[in-house]
Amino acid sequence: ILASEESVKQHGLKPLVRLLAWSVVGVDPSVMGIGPVPAIQNLLKATGLKLDDIDLVEINEAFAAQTLACAKELGLDQSKLNANGGAIAMGHPVGASGARITAHLAHELRRRGLKRGIGSACIGGGQGIALLVETV
């Protein structure tokens, strides 16, 4: 799911998306589920983009209220969130959430003919992570 530009050229691969930026943050462990919020905010600040510039957002569902709290805090348009359902609908395989989120985001952006997406997750212990991809 990930290759360097050199490998793409060397092996004649056709990428689905390009990784533009990422952000990793720490939050108080007592509110670990909110980690995607500052991670996404940092990502947007670093790239000069606004949430309105983003077509789809995938936020891991550690549990339903956690994802809803993140969406509310961000002011996220619900129609952009977890386009085909999140971990509650699809499963939450240990160690595979990042790959699942990224793959679903890449394929859904392409399927819909959209440009940019953010994938994000809270991480136990008080972390949040986010990445920004763009279709190529």
- The whole-number pLDDT of residue 119 equals 97
User: Does residue 60 belong to any structural domain of this protein?
Assistant: yes
Total structural domains within the chain: 1
Integer Cα distance of 123 and 103 in angstroms: 19
- The whole-number pLDDT of residue 93 equals 74
User: Does residue 8 belong to any structural domain of this protein?
Assistant: no
User: Does residue 6 belong to any structural domain of this protein?
Assistant: no
**Contact indicator for 28, 126 with CB cutoff of 8 Å:** yes
pLDDT tens for each residue of 15-50: 999 999 999 999 999 888 999 999 999 999 999 999
Which residues of the chain fall below pLDDT 70? 1
Q: Which of 69, 68, 56 is nearest to 103 (CA)?
A: 56
Q: Within a 13 Å sphere around the CA of 88, how many CA atoms are in the beta-carbon half?
A: 12
- The whole-number pLDDT of residue 87 equals 73
At residue 44, what is the residue type? L
Integer Cα distance of 130 and 23 in angstroms: 5
- The whole-number pLDDT of residue 115 equals 98
Cβ neighbour number for residue 97 with a 10 Å cutoff? 20
Q: What is the CATH number of the domain that holds 123?
A: 3.40.47.10
Domain that holds residue 119: 16-135
